[in-house]
Chains A and B, each alone.
Chain A
Amino acid sequence: AQRVTQPEKLLSVFKGAPVELKCNYSYSGSPELFWYVQYSRQRLQLLLRHISRESIKGFTADLNKGETSFHLKKPFAQEEDSAMYYCALSGTSGSRLTFGEGTQLTVNP
Chain B
Amino acid sequence: AAGVIQSPRHLIKEKRETATLKCYPIPRHDTVYWYQQGPGQDPQFLISFYEKMQSDKGSIPDRFSAQQFSDYHSELNMSSLELGDSALYFCASSPFPLIGRSNTGELFFGEGSRLTVL
Residues of A within 8 A of B (CB): 32, 34, 43-46, 49, 51, 86, 90, 92-102
Q: Chain B residues near A97 (CB, 8 Å)?
A: 33, 45, 98, 105, 107
Judging by beta carbons under 8 Å apart, are B102 and A51 in contact?
yes
Instruction: Tell me the smallest distance from the CB of B100 to a CB of chain A, in Å.
Output: 6
B106 at interface, CB cutoff 8 A = yes
Instruction: Tell me the smallest distance from the CB of A44 to a CB of chain B, in Å.
Output: 4
In the complex, A90→B31 CA distance in Å?
Answer: 15
Given the interface contacts A95-B48, A97-B33, does A34 sit within 8 Å of B111 by beta carbon? no
A-B contact pairs, 11 of them (CB 8 A): A32-B102, A32-B105, A34-B106, A43-B3, A46-B106, A86-B43, A90-B98, A92-B99, A95-B31, A96-B33, A99-B42
B70 at interface, CB cutoff 8 A = no
Counting from the closest, the 5 A-B pairs by CB-CB distance are A44-B109, A99-B42, A95-B98, A96-B45, A95-B56
- Contacts A46-B106, A95-B56 known; list 18 others, CB within 8 Å: A43-B111, A43-B112, A44-B43, A44-B109, A46-B107, A51-B102, A51-B105, A86-B42, A92-B99, A92-B100, A95-B31, A95-B55, A95-B97, A95-B98, A97-B45, A97-B105, A98-B45, A99-B44
Instruction: Tell me the smallest distance from the CB of B3 to a CB of chain A, in Å.
Output: 7
